[in-house]
């Protein structure tokens, strides 16, 4: 791995640095090396603990583990990094990928649903995934039990991408080890977390945003109203992607989430033809995302500007644009204050470009 890539990975693995902070640091300082040097002063201004990047030896060991597993890093803005994923604001700065990376260049659609799926829903998801693959669509899912497993099983021969919550060398759920290994050879397995990371509850929403970000749209097949599948659908909506849902019986709790999505405007799906029509591929009019604006490079903020922004923050997430409007502070300076607070461990970022005190 090149020295510059090692520095980028070290910055990514630094505690308190999320995707947005990473992009802003690179925009401001021009390189990961310069950003690493600036971290202590930025965290001090945010009024928090010192930021300690991991030792370079740890990063080297991680890179060696990725290489031994037959995988590679894909950095945002470089090479085979998925183009649609790169369009979202919170795209991971780097992902670890194993398998047929040419699949990342093909049109993709996400399919998610209940872990405790009914037999009928599992069969439908498997057939739908197979039919989409026959129409040259790659199917993206999260390798969970139920609908995810059915989606991968139905599309593995034509093209499937599995996004997992832990490290690439961790098999979860355990009964899907054979399927994960097969996808790593015939499809693509993607992880944001470093090797050896056991999946935790907090990791799954991060995984879900990647699933929604890679696909041109997201199909939900059975989901409870408060399920992770609906979180994925919300991400897709936030990203301007198509949200599609398979209707179900109002008597089945597993169908309530899908029926709710349809009531809120999601496209009702009964076949692969419905999916292709929703995405516009039947007429060749595939919707393209709007070009992603370059990160706003932060500028220095004075004490008065810091107070004006910080005083508006609380435990309830608020849009960054609203902070700019109410504080009267230039947008670039607001980004500086938020960046300092995040590095100090005092700020949490939420979907929809919203922030709150952590």
The ranges assigned to domains in the chain are: 3-75, 98-279, 303-357
Strand ranges of the sheet holding 354-357, from the earlier edge strand across to the other edge = 318-319, 354-357, 347-350
As a whole number of angstroms, the distance between CA 213 and CA 110 comes to 9
Fold match, 98-279 / 303-357: no
Choosing among 3.10.310.10, 1.10.10.10, 3.30.450.20, 1.10.3720.10, the CATH entry for 303-357 is 1.10.10.10
Residue at token pair 């470009």: 353
Residue 200 neighbours by CB distance under 10 Å: 10
b or e along 100-132 (b: 16 or more beta carbons within 10 Å of the residue's beta carbon)? bbebbeebbbbbbbbbebbeebbebbbebbbbb
- pLDDT value at residue 283: 41
Cα–Cα distance for residue pair 217/127, rounded to 1 Å: 18
Q: Which of 246, 210, 247, 250 is nearest to 228 (CA)?
A: 210
Q: Supply the DSSP symbol for 294.
A: P
Q: What are the pLDDT tens digits along the chain (358 aa)?
A: 777 899 999 999 998 899 989 998 998 899 999 999 989 888 888 876 777 899 999 999 999 999 999 999 999 988 899 999 999 989 999 999 999 999 999 999 999 999 999 999 999 999 999 999 999 999 999 999 999 999 999 999 999 999 999 999 999 999 999 999 999 999 999 999 999 999 999 899 999 999 999 999 999 999 988 888 999 999 999 999 999 999 998 888 899 999 999 999 999 999 999 999 999 854 443 344 444 445 555 677 788 888 899 999 999 999 999 999 999 999 988 988 898 898 888 888 887 788 998 7
DSSP three-state, residue 349: strand
| Strand stretches in the chain, DSSP E | 72-75, 94-99, 108-113, 138-141, 160-164, 188-191, 217-221, 242-246, 267-268, 318-319, 347-350, 354-357
Using CA of residue 252, residue 257, residue 263, residue 267, what is the dihedral sign?
negative
The domain 98-279 is placed in CATH, from the list 3.40.47.10, 3.40.50.450, 3.40.225.10, 3.40.50.10470, at 3.40.50.450
CA–CA dist 44, 51 (Å, integer): 9
Q: Answer yes or no: are the C-beta atoms of 135 and 126 closer than 8 Å.
A: no
**Is residue 306 within a helix (H) or strand (E), and if so which, with residue range?**
helix 303-310
């Amino acid at each position: 791995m090149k020295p510059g890539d090692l520095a980028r990975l070290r910055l990514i693995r630094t505690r308190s640095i999320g995707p947005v902070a990473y992009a802003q640091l690179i925009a401001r300082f021009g390189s990961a090396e310069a950003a690493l040097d600036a971290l202590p002063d930025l965290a001090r201004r945010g009024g928090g603990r010192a930021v300690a990047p991991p030792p370079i030896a740890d990063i080297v060991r991680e890179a060696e583990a990725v290489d031994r597993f037959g995988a590679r890093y894909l950095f945002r803005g470089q090479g085979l990094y998925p183009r649609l994923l790169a369009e979202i604001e919170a795209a991971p700065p780097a992902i670890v990928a194993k398998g047929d990376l040419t699949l990342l260049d093909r049109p993709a659609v996400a399919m998610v649903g209940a872990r405790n799926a009914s037999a009928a829903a599992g069969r439908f998801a498997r057939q739908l995934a197979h039919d989409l693959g026959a129409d040259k669509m790659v199917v993206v899912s999260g390798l969970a039990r139920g609908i995810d497993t059915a989606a991968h099983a139905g599309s593995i021969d034509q093209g499937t991408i599995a996004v997992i919550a832990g490290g690439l060398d961790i098999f979860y759920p355990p009964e899907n080890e054979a399927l994960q290994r097969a996808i790593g050879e015939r499809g693509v397995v993607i992880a944001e977390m470093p090797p050896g990371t056991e999946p935790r509850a907090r990791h799954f929403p991060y995984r879900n945003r990647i699933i929604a970000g890679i696909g041109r749209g997201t199909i939900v097949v059975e989901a409870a109203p408060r399920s992770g599948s609906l979180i994925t659908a919300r991400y897709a909506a936030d990203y301007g992607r198509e949200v599609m849902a398979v209707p179900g019986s109002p008597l089945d709790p597993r169908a309530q989430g899908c029926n709710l999505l349809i009531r809120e405007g999601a496209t009702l799906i009964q076949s692969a033809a419905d999916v292709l029509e929703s995405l516009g591929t039947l007429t060749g009019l595939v919707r393209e995302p709007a070009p992603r604006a370059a990160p706003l490079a932060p500028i220095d903020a004075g004490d008065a500007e810091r107070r004006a922004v910080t005083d508006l923050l609380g435990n309830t997430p608020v849009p960054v644009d609203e902070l700019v409007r109410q504080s009267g502070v230039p947008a670039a300076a607001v980004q500086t204050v938020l960046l300092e607070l995040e590095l100090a461990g005092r700020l949490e970022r939420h979907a929809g470009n919203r922030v709150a005190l952590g």
